[in-house]
Structure 1
Amino acid sequence: MRFFRDYLIPRIIQYIVVIFCGITAVFFIPRLTGQDPVLEMIAQIQSQGSSLDPTAVDSLMGTLKELYGLEGTLFQQYVTTWKRVFALDFGPSFFQFPTPVSELLKTYLPWTIGLFATSTLISWILGNILGGIAGYFSRKNWSKIIDALIMIVRPVPHYIFGIIVLILFGYVWQLFPVGGMMLGRRTVLNWRFIMTILRYSFLPALTLVILGGAVWFQQMKLLVQNVKREDYVQYAQTGGVKERFIIYRYVLRNAMLPQITQLALALGQVFSGVLIVEMVFSYPGIGLLLYRGVTRGDYNLVMGITVLSILTITTAVLILDLFYPLFDPRIRHK
């Protein structure tokens, strides 16, 4: 009973409040930009040589406002938005009209999940293993060399590092394609299709793994160095406990706790975390789709992507909070 009152219920309330505030902010922020997608759509139609009389323009504006959820007062639009959120129906996309936003998400989302989730897990595992060992043996020469290389790679922006990788592996050595995977290709689960996906995804994945792994490496190294100074580690070393046992049972297990939290947050940012990389490699993912939606004032598309991002991040954090007592016994004792 105490667990529900002091631990579970406050986190569920926090979960609901964060979702409410996040979706509310997403609703108002695009409308403060001053862009009117209805007028932009009519201007686009007229720019293609179509002539519309005032009556037809008024009728078209009413139809578009109804389709885009922009009909009525701001409060009515706000209520309509929440109805669409609960139904997971965000209406049609503005710049790819009349394609529904849900259809675009189904098309682009698997590519981002496959790229970002896989590269995040690989970089997390490699970065924590190397960072943990290098942090414990920080005085070794090989540890100092790896740390120096990480210090050089870590500050490089994603777009610069991506361009370097693209030039080396795409133009100089010509080992991988320089363009992104084309949408609309028939999906057939066979060896040829899998190899095609791997060829197109290797360079953006390599960029994310190296840069992401550098971040995990530095964080884990600092955590291990701090844990190594704790009294119980010093006592175990003085008591003659085997060094391998100290590293895995005392140092790494305690240093991993903050990294598990960061992993949940990183996986929750799947919708926006690879935006720059997807643009550099023309990779057909959610990040590239979000960029197009923002630049063209596509309220429905931005709302759909951002709502799913908010739900993913908050749900990942909630699940982590619920399972965190399994990793940290101190929470169970509290």
Structure 2
Amino acid sequence: MDFYKFLLSRILTFVLVVFIGITAVFFVPRFLPSDPVEAMIGQLTSKSAFMDPKAIETMRTTLNESFGLQGSLLQQYFGFFKRVLITHDFGPSLANYPAPVGELIGRALPWTMGLLLTSTIISWAIGNVVGLLAGFRKEKAYSKLLEAISIALYPIPYYIFALVLIMVFAYIVPIFPLSSTFQGDGFTWERIKSLVVGSTLPALSMILVGTGWWVISMKTLSAGIAEEDYVHFARLKGLKERKIMSRYVLPNAALPQVTMLALQLGTIFNGALVTEILFGYPGVGTLIYTGILQADYNLIMGTITISILAVAGATFVVDFLYPFLDPRVRYK
């Protein structure tokens, strides 16, 4: 019975979060001072010597219908929910008219997922291994050095690392290209090589900062757990330090880290906005930037809605699976 109550509460929470998030996504772009339809008509009229006013009005009506801007704000709101939840259609993009937003997201999402999924998992793995050693053996000189390096790396924004990497490895020592250029098609060697080379600097800029955070958090957790009574009892039993670290400290310190990893995996659908812009990377972050610059309502709503669903879904899955990962947690 407790399980069903728990499951129902989490489902309701998931639905509420998605509802509030999508509602905010709908209203916030409409508070922008620019009107996408009028901007598009202005661009068209500026390139033409003369346009019939009736043709302009017909175009305005057609574009308003295409972008879901026809009728009152309440009618637009219900129409937006109908398109998203029933037909899964965000409409055409203004910035890439008449390409559908869903098609643009479908092309950009694999790039973002490949970049951020890889960099997040690498930084999580390295950071937890280093943090575990630094926390469990905190009296060692290398532990203090690793902690100092992590504390120095963590506060630095990842785009600062990106700029430094560009200056060093694209100008001073031109090993990598200035922007992420990809060549070839399919799974050819040329294509794979260009993917690796073009994604190395963007990934490295996020791995460095992400690793610093994971080292600090894992070091704090493992250092606290290493002082628990059951760890002292394991030492009194004569167990080796390596076994104590792997059997007693690591499983308890890893649980919060697994939770945070799941939540961060949900946020990868946002894209790395500044990094993608700096490196010309064709991901979701670049789409969001383009949508904001050109007041492209549909593109903004489409990209951010995907992110809301991903984060809410990751939170729901973590809440549901956590009792299986930690026997001390029960469904209540």
Query: TM-score, normalising length from structure 1?
Result: 0.95
Structure 1 runs (4+) deviating above 6 angstroms are none
Match of 1:315 in 2: 313
Q: Could you tell me which amino acid in structure 1 is paired with residue 106 of structure 2?
A: K
Aligned twin of 1:40:
39
- Tell me the secondary structure at the aligned position of residue 328 of structure 2: helix
Question: Equivalent residue for 1:89?
Answer: 89
1:176 counterpart letter in structure 2: F
1:117 equivalent in structure 2: 117
CA distance in 2, matches of 1:50, 1:160: 46
Equivalent residue, structure 2, for 1:242: 240
Displacement after TM superposition at 1:64 (Å)? 0.4
The equivalent of 1:173 in structure 2 is: 173
Question: In structure 2, what is the Cα distance between the partners aligned to 1:22 and 1:265?
Answer: 16
Which residue of 1 is the match for residue 24 of structure 2? 25
Check the 8 A contact 2:92/2:99 in 1, yes or no. Answer: yes
Displacement of 1:281 in angstroms is 1.1
Aligned sequence identity (%): 44
2:86 is the counterpart of 1:101 = no
Q: Which residue of 1 aligns with 2:152?
A: 152
Deviation at 1:50, TM superposition (A): 4.5
Residues 112 and 271, structure 2, Cα contact 8 Å, conserved in 1 = no
Count of residue pairs the alignment pairs up: 331
Paired residue secondary structure (1:177): coil
- Paired residue for 2:50? 51
How far does the alpha carbon of each residue in 1:228-274 deviate from its partner, in whole angstroms, 9 at most, with x for none?
22222222223322212211111111111111111111111113251
Whole-Å separation in 2 of the counterparts to 1:161 and 1:318: 33
Which 5+ residue runs of structure 1 have no aligned equivalent? Answer: none
Give the C-alpha shift of residue 27 in structure 1. Answer: 0.4
- 2:216 corresponding residue in structure 1: 218
Which residue of the partner structure matches residue 299 of structure 2? 301
Report the CA distance between 1:333 and its aligned residue: 7.9
Q: 1:45-92: CA deviations, max 9, x gaps?
A: 122234223212211110000000000111110011111112221000
The CA distance in 1 between the partners of 2:277 and 2:217, in whole Å, is 27
After superposition, where does 1:182-201 map in structure 2 within 5 Å? 182=182, 187-201=185-199
Opposite residue 298 of structure 2, the aligned amino acid is N
Change in 2 beyond 3 A, CA 1:34/1:246: same
8 Å CA contact 1:176, 1:200 repeated in 2: yes
State the shift of 1:34 in Å. Answer: 2.5
Contact 2:266 2:307 in 1 (8 A): yes
Residue 209 of structure 1 and its aligned partner are, at CA, apart by 1.0
Whether 2:261 is the aligned partner of 1:270: answer no
Q: 2:184 touches 2:190 (CA, 8 Å); kept in 1? A: no
Superposition deviation, residue 212 in structure 1: 0.7
Q: Which residue of 1 aligns with 2:75?
A: 76
Q: Which amino acid aligns with 2:41?
A: I
Q: Evaluate the alpha carbon distance shift between residue 9 and residue 73 of structure 1 in structure 2; reply closer, same or farther with a 3 A threshold.
A: same
Q: Deviations over 1:85-140 (max 9, x none)?
A: 12221000011111110111111111111000111011111101111111111111
Distance (whole Å) between structure 1 residues aligned to residue 214 and residue 160 of structure 2: 20
Check if 1:141 corresponds to 2:141.
yes
Contact 2:277 2:286 in 1 (8 A): yes
Contact 1:93 1:99 survives alignment (8 Å): yes
Q: Which amino acid aligns with 1:130?
A: V
**Whole-Å Cα distance in 1 between the matches of residues 215 and 88 of structure 2?**
38
Q: What amino acid sits opposite 1:154 in the alignment?
A: Y
The residue type paired with residue 83 of structure 2 is R
- Three-state SS of the structure 1 residue aligned to 2:269 is coil
Q: CA RMSD in A?
A: 1.5
What SS does the corresponding residue of 1:330 show, helix, strand or coil? coil
SS of the equivalent of 2:268 reads coil
